[in-house]
Amino acid sequence: MARKKTSPSLSLLEYARERIGLKKKLNKASTAELYLVAVNHFLRFTGNTAFRMENLNRTLISDFAAYLQYKGLATNTINSYQSSLRAIYNAACHDGLLRPAEHPFQGLKLKREPTVKRAISVTHIRELTSLKADGSQSRELAIDLCLFSFLACGMPFVDMAYLTAGNIRNGELVYNRRKTGAQIRMEITAAMWQIIRKYTPRDGEREFLFPILPSGSPTHSQYKHRLAMHNRELKAVGDKLHLPVPFTSYVMRHSWASAALQSGVSVAIISQGLGHSSEKTTRYYLSELDVSELTKANRIISAPINCLLGGG
């Protein structure tokens, strides 16, 4: 982001809007949304929509965290908001718009709390394969997408939503994580093919592999709406199966990782399958792994579900 000269006074709201706009252009809609929410919370805390970034200091950051705690927000949510503010502030510094004598976020440690377990057992997933949708197409789609997610190494809902026929190459599914950009390659198992073919669009029917998003350039709002609909269906499914955890789109991702770990698959292989990029050491080892190792691991993990879905 180029600017001709250093601004003597920088509005947090105005600069945040620039960063939010850039994130949207870079297809980082979730990050943009998080920035917006974090800044809005901070401006409500200060009571000053014209707050200048050069007035940010350690005391304000600490008081902001206390304010969010008083509001009843979870520790990990507070961390996300502070991290977003820090990212915006750092961007302004990198742009040469701020030259603080003391960085207000220096020494800030954001220690995440362990989240509530969100995995279900393979036994529960077996039950899911035989669950009747009672004539509801949306319920049937939600179940099929959950099973596909598990079979596809815990693929997130957002990545399933944007899959196209172009992601199928020589019997493999090849795609880039929308969150991290990491490329994922895996063998398409017989059970995965069964679900893909069930929803294969007819010529010109739609752009995407699964009937989740409209063709063209879906908006982030459209995606969020479909995700909410998917999670509503999953809640009903979870209630029907009496699952031990709230059933959401991310449960299958956690379940695949949990099943992989219990099967003796290395953390490095699991990270490759999930497309994680947060652990630098793991990512270093992932670059040396061959796709055949991931294929072998996924065959072991998904075998019981493959059989139930007629994959042999």
pLDDT at residue 113, as a whole number? 65
The answer to whether 168 touches 185, Cβ cutoff 8 Å, is no
Residue 7 lies in a domain: no
Shared domain check, 139 and 70: no
Shared domain check, 288 and 155: yes
The count of other CB atoms within 10 Å of the CB of residue 199 is: 16
pLDDT at residue 202, as a whole number? 80
pLDDT at residue 295, as a whole number? 78
The answer to whether 152 touches 173, Cβ cutoff 8 Å, is yes
Shared domain check, 147 and 57: no
Residue 290 pLDDT > 70: no
Q: Measure CA 119 to chain center.
A: 16
pLDDT tens-digit map of 177-222:
888 788 889 999 999 999 999 998 887 778 999 999 998 888 889 9
Shared domain check, 245 and 152: yes
Q: What is the CATH number of the domain that holds 27?
A: 1.10.150
What is the layout of strands, in order, in the sheet containing 183-187? Answer: 168-169, 172-176, 183-187
Residue 100 lies in a domain: no
Shared domain check, 291 and 214: yes
Give burial (CB, 10 Å; 0-12/13-18/19+) of 92. buried
Shared domain check, 73 and 144: no
Shared domain check, 220 and 256: yes
56-85: average pLDDT: 92
Work out how many domains the chain is built from and give that number: 2
d(CA 286, CA 297): 14
Residue 115 lies in a domain: no
pLDDT tens-digit map of 228-244:
999 999 999 999 999 99
Q: What is the CATH number of the domain that holds 193?
A: 1.10.443.10
By residue range, what is the domain housing residue 281? 122-308
Instruction: Compute the mean pLDDT over every residue in the chain, rounded to the nearest whole number.
Output: 86
Residue 282 lies in a domain: yes
Residue 62 lies in a domain: yes
Shared domain check, 260 and 172: yes
Shared domain check, 134 and 33: no
Shared domain check, 128 and 61: no
Residue 165 pLDDT > 60: yes
Sign of the C-alpha dihedral computed for residues 130, 131, 137 and 142 taken in this order: negative
Residue 113 lies in a domain: no
d(CA 133, CA 138): 8
pLDDT at residue 36, as a whole number? 95
Residue 79 lies in a domain: yes
Shared domain check, 131 and 186: yes
Shared domain check, 80 and 139: no
d(CA 12, CA 142): 41
Residue 103 lies in a domain: no
Percent of the chain with pLDDT strictly greater than 90: 56
pTM score above 0.95: no
